Amino acid sequence: MLDLLIHNAVLPDGRDNMSIAVAGGCIAEVTAGLDAPAHDKLDAQGLLVTPHFVDPHFHMDATLSYGLPRVNESGTLLEGIAVWGELKPMLSAEALIERALAYCDWAVAKGLLAIRSHVDTSDPSLLAVDAMLEVKRRVAPYIDLQLVAFPQDGVLRTQGGVDNLKRALDKGVDVVGGIPHFERTMADGAASVKLLCELAAVRGLPVDMHCDESDDPLSRHIETLAFETQRLGLQGRVTGSHCTSMHSMDNYYVSKLLPLIAQAQVNVIANPLINITLQGRHDSYPRRRGMTRVPELMAAGVNVAFGHDCVMDPWYGMGSGDMLEVAHMGLHVAQMTSQAGIRQCFDGVTGNAARVLGLKSYGLEAGCDASFVLLQARDPVEAIRLRATRLKVFCKGQLVAETPAATSVLRLDGRPAATSFMPPLRHPKERRAH
């Protein structure tokens, strides 16, 4: 007897009339038109079932602190770091945990069940680290929360920065982070990349560094990160986050850089909502978009994912944990408007992001965790267009969130009575014409 049988589902790869059989928290079988005894049955009514969303880049310690102690008036990365610095002495573990748990509730409601969050290690008290480790423990039943030791103020620029970061790792933080573009000089930035990669190699940990988050076309830290990855044999374990300077780099140099990143198997994470907001702030017009070269990286064979980065914090006052909003902005900024491009953007917040986190049981195949989302959309393109309602969210076979379908009731005489913003299916003759 199955625990759950979903039938009449569409999968992200386009297969329709699919059944998903669940037993013991795992997917037992995915096949067309299966009928079998089950405790619960769910008719997906031809809508999309996707593996849960994954956010590969977030800042859980800063989330929901927007306006504390003041708003970032210039909107720049640097004023955001300054505002966060002003808030840090006022932080308490209780407030950090309360805000992070509130955000995790939003995440679950949006079908976001795995998050990699950076946590600031600059403060020697490691208050935020302890608070986020507590959050990780509390949400473990429903969110896979990975923590990155992130020296926000620069690991070399901060007195005791290396020691603080090592102590955070000793406490159980999962990944080595960095911020080379915020060190005092380009040379110090490169030295920090080398030092942190060596630390990760010794400890057998992954690396995820904020890398070249600027509009400086001569910032070269992603090159150093890829080189150190190869030198130390860390292929597949390293991620460069942001990489916004690549937007402004010379094309010839990028033609040399992309194969290096691909050979080193370094993942790249773009954060479209934040990149379009923070970058280009020193420009007049034309004003650069500032997001890294997503389609070019993908074409070079690099695993590229999209992160949310910030929700209501000193850097960004918007957001609700909706990874479809992230993908929506990503496809606009990268101009990935072809059908294939839009689907790649969907991959950026699902499968590609899961690869960054190294999630072993992710996917819609037998043996994977039964952690998936029924969306009010018929395919990934429609899901992004509508930032589709998460009708049902399942975590390891358990229903953990439900949202009513978004439907507008019309009051027009003689017209359809309701709409969900889905166009009618094509007429058979039109289908043949295409």
Catalytic residues: 213
Smallest separation (angstroms) from Fe ion to the CB of 409: 41
Smallest separation (angstroms) from Fe ion to the CB of 150: 8
The count of other CB atoms within 10 Å of the CB of residue 235 is 13
**Which region among 218-226, 282-290, 301-309, 413-421 touches Fe ion (by CB under 5 A)?**
301-309
Q: Which is nearer to Fe ion, 55 or 309 (CB)?
A: 309
Smallest separation (angstroms) from Fe ion to the CB of 22: 35
How far apart CA 200 and CA 204 sit, in angstroms, is: 6
Please compute, for residue 305, the number of CA atoms within 13 A of its CA located in the half-sphere on the CB side: 28
How far apart CA 56 and CA 116 sit, in angstroms, is: 5
How far apart CA 364 and CA 361 sit, in angstroms, is: 9
Smallest separation (angstroms) from Fe ion to the CB of 309: 5
Stretch 194-233: interaction string toward Fe ion, x if CB under 5 A: ----------------------------------------
Dig out the tokens for 12 from the structure: 């992200």
How far apart CA 352 and CA 268 sit, in angstroms, is: 10
How far apart CA 301 and CA 214 sit, in angstroms, is: 24
- In this structure, are residues 48 and 386 in contact, taking their beta carbons and an 8 Å threshold? no
Torsions phi, psi for 88 (to 5 deg) = -50, -45
Strands 418-419 and 408-409 turn out to be antiparallel
**Which region among 230-238, 261-269, 291-299, 302-310 touches Fe ion (by CB under 5 A)?**
302-310
Smallest separation (angstroms) from Fe ion to the CB of 181: 12
When CB distances to Fe ion are compared, the closest residue is: 309
Q: Which is nearer to Fe ion, 190 or 311 (CB)?
A: 311
Window 101-120: residues binding Fe ion (CB under 5 A) = none
- In this structure, are residues 236 and 203 in contact, taking their beta carbons and an 8 Å threshold? no
Stretch 305-334: interaction string toward Fe ion, x if CB under 5 A: ----x-------------------------
Q: Which of 156, 241, 245, 157 is nearest to 199 (CA)?
A: 156
Q: Is 198 helix (H, G, I), strand (E, B) or coil?
A: helix
Smallest separation (angstroms) from Fe ion to the CB of 118: 6
Q: Which is nearer to Fe ion, 7 or 116 (CB)?
A: 116
| Size, binding site for Fe ion by CB under 5 A | 1
Report residue 113 CA to chain centroid gap: 11
How far apart CA 74 and CA 13 sit, in angstroms, is: 43
How far apart CA 10 and CA 43 sit, in angstroms, is: 11
Q: Give me the DSSP letters along 30-76.
A: EEET----EEEEEE-TT-BEEEPEEEEEE-TTTTT-TTSS---SS--
Window 398-417: residues binding Fe ion (CB under 5 A) = none
Q: Which is nearer to Fe ion, 52 or 308 (CB)?
A: 308
Stretch 5-34: interaction string toward Fe ion, x if CB under 5 A: ------------------------------
Q: Which is nearer to Fe ion, 212 or 309 (CB)?
A: 309
Q: Which is nearer to Fe ion, 243 or 354 (CB)?
A: 243
Window 117-176: residues binding Fe ion (CB under 5 A) = none
- Contact residues for Fe ion, defined by CB under 5 A: 309
